[in-house]
Structure 1
Amino acid sequence: MFPSLSRDKQSALQFVKNFKPHVEGQQIRILLHGPVGAGKSSFINSVQSVLHGRIYTQVLADNTSGSSFTKKYTTYKIPKEDPQSFYPFVFNDIMGLEPIKGVHVDDINLALKGRVMDGYRFNPESKMSEKDPFYNSSPADNDKVHVLVCVIPASTVSQMDDKTVQKIRDIRMEASALDIPQVAIVTKIDEICPEITDNLQNVYKVKYMKEKMEQFSAEVGIPMTSIFPVKNYHEEIDINSDIDSLILSALKHIITTGGDHVNFKKTQSECSGTWA
Structure 2
Amino acid sequence: MKLTSIHQEAIKLVKEVGEFIRNESENFNTDKVEHKGFNDLVSYVDKEAEKRLVEGLGEILPESGFIAEEGTSNKQGEEYNWIIDPLDGTTNFVHGLPVYSISVALQQNDKIVSGIVLEINRDECFEAVKGESSKLNGKPISVSKNINLSQSLIATGFPYNDFDKMDDYLSILKYLMQNSHGLRRFGSAAVDLAYVACGRYEAYFEYNLNEWDVAAGAFIVQQAGGKVSRFNGDDDFIYGREIMSCSSDIYDELLTILQDRWKHN
Name the TM-score class by shorter chain: under 0.3
TM-score by length of 1: 0.27
TM-score by length of 2: 0.27
Structure scoring higher RCO (CA < 8 A, sep ≥ 6) equals 1
- Which structure has the highest strand share of the two? 2
- Which structure has the highest helix share of the two? 1
